[in-house]
Amino acid sequence: MKLHEYQAKELFKGFGIPVPGGRLAHTGDEAFQAAGELKGPPWVVKAQVHAGGRGKGGGVKVVQTLEDVRKAAAAILETPLVTKQTGPEGRKVHQVLVEEGVQIDREFYLAVVVDRARARPVMIFSQAGGMEIEEVAARTPELVLKQFVDPNTGWMPYQARTLAYSVEPLPGPDTLKDLMALMGKLYKAFISLDCSLAEINPLVITRDGKVLAVDAKINVDDNALARQKELKALDDPKEKDPLDAKAEAHNLNYIRLSGNIGAMVNGAGLAMATMDVIKLAGAEPANFLDVGGGASEEMVTRGLEIILEDKKVKAILINIFGGILRCDVLARGVLAAAEKTAIKVPLIVRLEGTNVEEGRKILQESNLTFMVAKDMADAAAMVTEQVKRSA
């Protein structure tokens, strides 16, 4: 689960990480009001969306007058924000963060993430902050420093020294001390909030030597939300893809992808194998959709509806190995979805397992048009053929 910058900053503040004074606003007038209560000029108006790269996309504006705060906020709220991470259609901005402007002297990158290979948190630090860390890592990998953290001992002071004393030229002693302390606080926040990512980019040193988190990003591990109830309440449904939200509401494991073959499968392993055979046959899956081993007729229906609502989908492959989810239940679910939404794209079905005869019969006796594949490779070849034909 992703949090907004203003939410992440509020949480960071609770861990003693310094952030600029700020207020949330939903209109130009509110932004004008908010800035009036903050120190300035300058003020900074920042789009609150779950996407990075806002600076370059025009979603962060530094302004000098209250009237310009109003104008900047209104402009950001008016048109969808397009950044490297939003896709060309952009993202509607529902709220902006108005902040006290900061006189920036230097910009750093600081983050804690989980390193999967080493199965432990890693603190990443770079003195080439402000830019995208991926770019820094690609161009000047020597500027990206890492400290792996033993979860048993936690973050150690020597690790903070290793990172902080790499900075050239070295900041003054007070600034350096604050920088090292901040690393410990960020690690504490990361662990306490069950984060998968806690990032500050840029972490700045101001002209008067203060260390400050000018940007903030937190991703919370979804698996921890059961015990992080306060964080769960920060979820913003407006930021979600509507199809993702629908899948979540019906307990379907759904991930939208960029291809054009909609696939409905039961079981994560079979779903991954299905995506592989689709690719092997030369096409691209439009989604990962695992309706789950014990899916009900209702879940099958919702799953197919989600695929049908995706305008990119040019053909559908249903690949079910009936076990706990019986093939007849699947068939009834498919028919229910077809009754609600006409299936206008080719449908290829591959059924095996429990009650397969009954499942096939239900489909055959319906007025649904579909093709039967004899095995997975055949199914992938057929669906790829259909997509190529429609192109």
Distance, in Å, from the CA atom of 50 to the CA atom of 8, rounded to the nearest integer, reads 12
Q: What is the enclosing helix (H) or strand (E) of 360?
A: helix 356-365
Report if residue 54 touches ligand GDP, rule: CB under 6 A.
Answer: yes
Q: How far is the CB of 227 from ligand GDP (least distance, A)?
A: 29
Q: By CB under 6 A, what part of segment 139-178 binds ligand GDP? A: none
Q: Which of 5, 30, 107, 109 is catalytic?
A: 109
Report if residue 62 touches ligand GDP, rule: CB under 6 A.
Answer: yes
Q: In this complex, which beta carbon is closest to ligand GDP, that of residue 20 or of residue 259? A: 20
Q: Which of 5, 30, 99, 199 is catalytic?
A: 199
Q: Is 218 helix (H, G, I), strand (E, B) or coil?
A: strand
Instruction: Point out which span in 21-29, 51-59, 69-77, 301-309 binds ligand GDP (CB under 6 A).
Output: 51-59
**DSSP letters along 63-75, please?**
ESSHHHHHHHHHH
One of 18, 41, 53, 58 touching ligand GDP (CB under 6 A): 53
Q: Which residues contact 155 (CB under 8 A, 6 or more apart)?
A: 123, 149, 183, 184, 187, 188
Q: In this complex, which beta carbon is closest to ligand GDP, that of residue 46 or of residue 302? A: 46
**DSSP letters along 317-356, please?**
EEEEEESSS-HHHHHHHHHHHHHHS---S-EEEEEEETTH
Q: How far is the CB of 243 from ligand GDP (least distance, A)?
A: 25
Residue with tokens 């048009």: 369
Q: Is 43 helix (H, G, I), strand (E, B) or coil?
A: strand
Q: ∠ at Cα 300 (298, 304), nearest 5°?
A: 120
Report residue 275 as tokens. Answer: 């995506």
What's the DSSP call for residue 95?
-
187 is catalytic: no
199 is catalytic: yes
Report if residue 102 touches ligand GDP, rule: CB under 6 A.
Answer: yes
Report if residue 40 touches ligand GDP, rule: CB under 6 A.
Answer: no
Residue with tokens 């049908």: 308
Per partner kind, with CB cut-offs from 5 to 8 A, the member of ligand GDP, Mn ion, none near residue 41 is: none
Residue nearest to ligand GDP (CB): 55
Q: In this complex, which beta carbon is closest to ligand GDP, that of residue 55 or of residue 121? A: 55
Report if residue 202 touches ligand GDP, rule: CB under 6 A.
Answer: yes
Active-site residues, by number, are 109, 199
Q: Residues interacting with ligand GDP, by CB under 6 A?
A: 44, 46, 52-55, 60, 62, 101-102, 104, 130, 201-202, 214-215
